Amino acid sequence: MRVDLFDFALPQDRIALRPAAPRDSAKLLKVDGDRLSDHIVSDLPDLLGPKDILVFNDTRVIPAQLHGKRGEASIGATLHKRVDLRRWQAFIRNAKRLRLGDIVDFGKDVSAEAEEKLADGSFILRFLGEEPVELLLERAGTMPLPPYIASKRDIDERDAEDYQTMFAREKGAVAAPTAALHFTDGLLAALTEAGIGSETLTLHVGAGTFLPVKVDETDDHQMHSEWGRIDADTADRLNAARRAGGRVIAVGTTSLRLLESATGEDGVIQPFEGDTDIFITPGYKFRAIDGLMTNFHLPKSTLFMLVSALMGLETMQKAYAHAIAGGYRFYSYGDSSLLLPPK
């Protein structure tokens, strides 16, 4: 399909620079088939059924944004994906000033060697020394806010908390699974009281999620891979919930993509551990999920393509126009939607 089919005009003042406070006070647009209704996130227990089950991503964002020097040249690095204990794939700013074998000094006794340049222009950085890389990042790194926020204001101490979900446990993401930023202890308790279950999986979100689609046709776009895991017990409980008549509702496109990667044509969710580069566009037949809670996405992005595959492009164009007219806030710190496709 042509990428420009997924374009739309978004006023810059609709881009949220801070999350709603409290988190579950954010707006929520319910799209049930082609019917739209306005709510807030704390209404969620009334919008789902007692057999439904929400699936959260428990990845934890690491301070993966680094700023350093190679000689007199300023070098920026956004870590994308772990290669091994000391090596990370990274997108580099001012990459024309970086050559193989160069050492980048990120300050605070943290440095890395540019070991390899990949076909997509990213580098493999090998961190020097004996300390675990996680400790080096805690010392020298900052939270990797999306460029549409970081270009408008400085990253600050609030972001260290604001950009983590309440489920964050497994370190390794360089972007938050932002749909789950809306959840609080109180909301989770209300969901449990309403008989709505919850499960977690792990998908370490990479910085590739922010990369623009630069081709004209969706078939020509190359997705970056991300590592994920669903254990056997979780898969069994999700399959049992569906057999009992409940719906599996993915909280975030990251949860959805991993669930779909783990599910065969028979609709049975299997245990999974490894990389996925699944790219979902209209025409895709969903196997694992019955709904999706997600924020509002960039024009011409792979994520807007995904929600259009789930609900239909015309329906999502109508929903986004409604959201823009209704003052909904977009992107990572923005408002949410609950997407329930026709059965």
pLDDT of residue 95: 94
Mean pLDDT, the chain, as a whole number? 95
> In terms of Cα–Cα distance, which of 252, 276, 251 is closest to 262?
276
Same domain, 31 and 78: no
Same domain, 85 and 228: no
- How far is it, in rounded angstroms, from Cα 95 to Cα 120? 12
Residues whose CB falls within 8 Å of the CB of residue 306, separated by 6 or more in sequence, listed in order = 253, 256, 257, 280, 281
Q: Which amino acid is at 4?
A: D
pLDDT of residue 210: 64
Same domain, 54 and 80: no
Same domain, 30 and 90: no
Task: Please say if the pLDDT value at position 211 is more than 80.
Answer: no
Helices 253-261/302-311 angle, 10° precision:
70
Q: Which of 141, 174, 198 is the last residue of a domain?
A: 141
- Residue 74 three-state SS: strand
Domain count, the chain: 2
What are 225's two structure tokens? 């891979």
Same domain, 187 and 74: no
Same domain, 83 and 53: no
Q: What is the pTM of this model?
A: 0.92
- Residue 58 three-state SS: coil
Same domain, 225 and 300: yes
Same domain, 179 and 35: yes
pLDDT-based confidence at 213, cuts 50/70/90?
confident
Sheet of strand 53-57: strand arrangement:
35-40, 27-32, 336-340, 291-295, 248-251, 53-57, 197-203, 226-230, 272-276
pLDDT of residue 343: 79
Same domain, 57 and 70: no
Q: In CATH, what number is assigned to the domain containing residue 224?
A: 3.40.1780.10
- What does the pLDDT look like over 168-180, one tens digit per residue? 999 999 899 999 9
Q: Which of 141, 173, 207 is the last residue of a domain?
A: 141
DSSP code per residue over 106-146: -STT-EEEEEEE-TTS-EEEEE-SSS-HHHHHHHH-B----
Q: How far are the Cα atoms of 124, 292, 306 from residue 339, in angstroms, in the given order?
A: 38, 5, 11
Same domain, 122 and 170: no
Average pLDDT, stretch 311-328? Answer: 98
Residues whose CB falls within 8 Å of the CB of residue 236, separated by 6 or more in sequence, listed in order = none
Task: Please say if the pLDDT value at position 209 is more than 80.
Answer: no
Q: Which residue matches tokens 């580099």?
A: 92
Least confident of 25-34, 78-87, 177-186: 78-87
What range does the domain containing 102 cover? 65-141
Residues whose CB falls within 8 Å of the CB of residue 233, separated by 6 or more in sequence, listed in order = none
pLDDT-based confidence at 120, cuts 50/70/90?
confident
Same domain, 177 and 70: no
Backbone dihedral angles phi then psi of residue 287, each to the nearest 5 degrees: -115, -35
What are 252's two structure tokens? 């975030």
